[in-house]
Chains A and B, each alone.
Chain A
Amino acid sequence: MIVAQAKDINEIADKLTNYEKILVAGCATCVAECMAGGEKEVAITASALRMALRLRGCQAQVAEVTADRQCEWELIEEIAPQVEAADVVVSLACGVGVACMWDRFEPKPIIPGVNTVFLGHREKPGLWLERCAACGDCTIDRTAGICPIARCAKSLQNGPCGGSTDGKCEIDPELDCAWHLIIERLKAMNQLDTLRENTPPRDWSTSRDGGPRRVVVEDVEE
C-alpha cells in the first residue's frame, strides 16, 4: 500500500487564509489504512484547521468528505458536489489522489494535506515500513524477499557496504541492514551460495530514470 504521513497543520493553514469555503477530502483506502487520510483523520485535520484559521483571524467554513478512493474517476465523481461547492480542497489522499483531483477539478486548487512517503506495509500497530521502491523490474526473489533497492540505504545489489554494525545500518543504528537480513535468511535456507552469482548493473530506465511510466493492458484498453 501507499504510506503517507500527516503534514504540520500550520503548513496547510498558511495556504488557506484567503479562502472562505474549504473542503477537507479524505481517501478511505491506502491513507486510511496508515491513519493519515481516512475519515477519522479528515475530522481531526478539519477541526485543527478551523482552530488554526480562527487564530489567524479567518472566518472560513471547513467541510469534510471522504471518497472511497481519490485515484478512480468513478469514485472521485461521488464527491464532486462537495468539491464543486468549495473554494479550495485539502486532499488527504496520496500524491496520486491529489493529481487525479487536479485533473478532474482544474482550476480548483487542491492542496496536499499529507506527505506521501513510500510503498510499504503495517509491521505492527503504529509502525509502517518501506518494502518496495517500484523499480519496474522486480528481482526480489534473488534476495529472499528482502528488497535491497527499497531497504538498503545505498540500494546496493551485490552485498553489504561493510559499514554495518551488529546487523544495523551505518546511517541509523535503529535501522536493520538489509544485506544482513538477506544473508541471514539465505543462510537459514542453506542458499547463501546464490549470492556468488554477480547481479549485473540494473537498467534504471524501468524506474524513475526512464521518465514517467505507464502500464497498458491491451485486452481491456479502450
Chain B
Amino acid sequence: MSVNKIAPVGQGNGLHLVAFCCANSSAKAAELSKAPFEVDRVRVRLAQLACSSKIEVLHVLRALETGADGVALWTCPQDSCRFGRGCIRAAKRIERARRILEQIAVGGQRVFLQSLDPNDPDALDKALREATGRLVELGKSPLKTVGVK
C-alpha cells in the first residue's frame, strides 16, 4: 500500500482511528493530516505533532471518549529524535494513558505506539496498515457497545 492507495472517506466499517505523528518522523504526515481518509475501511484522522512528546494523556483519552476505537502515535526512533528525548517522553505518556484505559476497562491495547524508520519512505503507510489491521482485530471500542441505564 502506498499513500495514493489510501481511500477518501466512504461508508467505512464503523471503526475510527485517531493517529498522531511526529512531523519529523514522516514527510507524508503533513499531506495526510489535511483531511480524514480510510485505510482498510477504517476511518483515520491523522494529526501532526511538532514532536511526539507533545502528545498528552488527555489527547488519547479524549479521542477514545469522543468516538475513536483506537489511537496511534508514531514517533522517530530514539537515536534520531530531533529533540533527544521526545520519543521517550511520548512513550511514558502513552504508558500512563494505557494504564488509565486498563483501569477503566476500555483497554490499553487500543493505543498503538510505534517508531517509524526514517530511511523507509513507506514507513507511515506500513504503520497505518498495521494499526488499522490491529483495530479490525480488536473491533469496536467497548464504549460504543455498552448499554446505558
Contacts and interface: CB of A to CB of B under 8 A. Distances in A.
A187 interface: no
Contacts of B58: 40, 43-44, 47
Contacts of B64: 51
Give the interface SS of chain B, mostly helix, strand, loop or mixed.
helix
Interface string A50-77: 1110110111000000000000000000
Nearest to A48: B100
A204 B143 CA distance: 53
Interface stretch (A5-13, A177-185, A207-215): A5-13
Interface in B41-95: 56-58, 61-62, 64-65
Contact of A57 (B62, B100, B149): B149
Contacts of A52: 103-105
Q: How large is the interface on A (under 10, 10 to 19, 20 to 34, 35 or more residues)?
A: 10 to 19
Contacts of B56: 40
Given A48-B61, A58-B148, A10 B104 contact: yes
A55 B143 contact: yes
Nearest to A47: B61
Interface residues of B, number: 18
Contacts of B1: none
Interface in A10-50: 10, 13, 40, 43-44, 47-48, 50
Interface string B128-149: 0000000000000011001111
Nearest to A13: B104
Given A40-B58, A44-B57, A48-B61, A58 B149 contact: yes
A57 B146 contact: yes
A133 B58 CA distance: 34
Contacts of A8: 103
Contacts of B103: 8-10, 48, 52
A57 B62 CA distance: 19
A174 B19 CA distance: 38
A55 B147 CA distance: 8
A72 to B, nearest CB: 27
A54 B61 contact: no
A181 to B, nearest CB: 29
Contacts of B106: 51, 55
Contacts of A48: 61, 100, 103-104
B147 A51 contact: no
Interface of B: 56-58, 61-62, 64-65, 100, 103-106, 142-143, 146-149
Closest 5 CB pairs of A and B: A57-B149, A52-B104, A47-B61, A59-B148, A9-B103
Interface of A: 8-10, 13, 40, 43-44, 47-48, 50-52, 54-55, 57-59
17 contacts: A9-B104, A10-B103, A43-B58, A44-B61, A47-B58, A47-B62, A48-B61, A48-B100, A50-B65, A51-B61, A51-B64, A51-B65, A51-B104, A51-B106, A55-B106, A57-B147, A58-B148
Given A48-B103, A57-B146, A58-B148, 4 more contacts: A51-B104, A54-B146, A55-B146, A57-B147
